[in-house]
Structure 1
Amino acid sequence: MNGLIVPPGQGRTLITKAQEVTFKATGADGSFASTFEAVVPPGFDVGAHVHDGSQEFFYLLEGELELFAFEPVERTAGPWQGWKSPDGHRPLRAAAGSCMLVPAGCPHAFRNHTDQPARMLFQSFPPPAHERYFEELCEIFSAGRTVDADAVQRLRDRYDVKQLTPLRYGPPPV
């Protein structure tokens, strides 16, 4: 039996105009969870969403992100940045060294509100759903000048991503 060692800068990387994801350990490697390193570009907002069948863990390696992981008092259609939990929690501006654990069924999101990229380690259990999701999402994002929102929604429907607020990418808000 052998383990897996992935040196810095190694792994299979997928790059599009809206994301860069490097697969570090996958279900094919025998990993208990899919493990990725992701670069979150300025202005990227994954949008509030929930997964009924998977758990996630995020560790911020570099930069700053706005994060939340709670059931809000009210799931509004507007920006999740104003959401509040019944016990008073609000989205938080997190710096390198911060982490976020998301149990199955918990609404969550992250956004890069700065003008610098952020880098995070991301794990999803069980594998390989997020691995396939990222592969297909990169194909959609690379298919043309604009992103086919219907194709993204069909992808989310297949991979247990219930989007609560829109995914956004572009220049960071002023």
Structure 2
Amino acid sequence: MSGVVLPPGQGRRLITKAQEVTFKATKAQGSAVSIFEVVVPPGFDVGAHVHRDSQEFFYVLQGELQLMAFEPQERTGQSWQDWRSPQGDRVIRATEGACMFVPPGTPHAFKNASDAPARMLFQCFPSPYHELYFEEIAEIWASGETVDPRAVERMRRRYDVDQLTPLRYDPPALLPTRPATEHGV
């Protein structure tokens, strides 16, 4: 078996309305850890969620993200940005070089609240959960102007994602002209 060497910008890309994912190392290449570079556009909020079996690692390469990885005192259903842990942990503003490790069973989330795209290196163990998830979510996003929340919920159950707060994508150009939308994905 050979290793994988990729020049900057290389790898298989999935581009959707909500984000860009570049596969760097996958199960098909012999990796037990799925590794991606993800471009997170302004206004994208993955929503708080939990994985029973997966662990994840996020490393901010460029830009700014809000990050959260703890069990809150109270899980509120619409927003995670004000969550606080019993120990006083809060959501942090993460810039280049910041990282987040998420063990199984830990609620976590990220959001790009800035007006510029952010880039992060994202690793998930075991592969291929998130590889398959990203491929299927790209198909769902591409299926039309609206997203079927039931299809997304079924997909998430298959890939070890228990969603706690909604995923939202409200590009800044749209924010002043209409209320925030909840795509249910």
TM-score (norm 1): 0.97
Q: Distance in 1 between matches of 2:18 and 2:171?
A: 11
Match of 1:77 in 2: 77
Match of 1:168 in 2: 168
How far is the alpha carbon of 1:32 from its aligned partner? Answer: 2.4
Q: Distance in 1 between matches of 2:46 and 2:35?
A: 18
Structure 1: runs of 5 or more not aligned: none
Q: Which amino acid aligns with 2:70?
A: F
How far is the alpha carbon of 1:170 from its aligned partner? Answer: 1.5
Q: How does 1:53-132 map to 2 (within 5 A)?
A: 53-132=53-132
Over aligned residue pairs, what C-alpha RMSD do you find?
1.0
Report the number of matched residues: 174
Q: Which amino acid aligns with 1:155?
A: M
In the TM superposition, what whole-angstrom CA distance separates every residue of 1:48-101 from its partner, at most 9, and x where no partner exists? 000001000000000000000000001111310000001000000000100000
Q: Which amino acid aligns with 2:23?
A: F
Q: Distance in 2 between matches of 1:36 and 1:113?
A: 21
In the TM superposition, what whole-angstrom CA distance separates every residue of 1:14-72 from its partner, at most 9, and x where no partner exists? 00111110000001111120000000000000000000010000000000000000000
TM-score (norm 2): 0.92
Q: Which amino acid aligns with 2:163?
A: Q
Q: How does 1:1-16 map to 2 (within 5 A)?
A: 1-16=1-16
Q: Distance in 2 between matches of 1:156 and 1:124?
A: 15
Q: Distance in 2 between matches of 1:138 and 1:51?
A: 20
Find runs of 4+ consecutive structure 1 residues off by over 3 angstroms: none
Identity %: 68
- Aligned residue for 2:45, secondary structure, equals coil
Match of 1:27 in 2: 27
